[in-house]
Amino acid sequence: MKVNGHPSIADGWKLNAAVLAGGISSRMGQEKALLSFRGEPLIARVIHRLQKVTDEILIVTNNPERFAFLGMRCVRDKATGTGAMGGLHAALQEARGELVAVVACDMPFLSADVLKRAAEVLMNEGVDAVLPCSMEGLEPLHAVYRRSTCLPVLEEAVARGERRLVSFLPFVRVRELMLAEMEPVDPYGRAFINVNTPEEWRIAEKICDE
What is d(CA 42, CA 100) in angstroms, rounded to the nearest whole number? 21
What is the architecture, at CATH level 2, of domain 2-209? Alpha-Beta Complex (3.90)
Burial group, residue 130, by CB count within 10 angstroms (0-12, 13-18, 19+): buried
What is d(CA 59, CA 125) in angstroms, rounded to the nearest whole number? 28
The ranges of the chain with pLDDT < 50 are 1-7, 10
List all residues 6 or more positions away from 26 whose beta carbon is below 8 Å from its beta carbon: none
Residue of 114, 59, 28 lying closest to 36 (CA atoms): 28
Task: Give pLDDT, residue 6.
Answer: 43
Task: Give pLDDT, residue 55.
Answer: 86
Burial group, residue 32, by CB count within 10 angstroms (0-12, 13-18, 19+): buried
Residue of 44, 89, 50, 52 lying closest to 68 (CA atoms): 44
Angle at 111 between CA 210 and CA 61, to 5 degrees: 110
Give pLDDT tens digits for 5-38: 444 554 557 899 999 997 665 566 567 899 989 8
What is d(CA 47, CA 33) in angstroms, rounded to the nearest whole number? 11
Give 95's strand partners. Answer: none
The pTM is what? 0.90
H or E stretch covering 162: none
Give 9's strand partners. Answer: none
Task: Give pLDDT, residue 29.
Answer: 57
Backbone φ and ψ for 182, nearest 5 degrees, come out as -95, -15
Task: Give pLDDT, residue 84.
Answer: 86
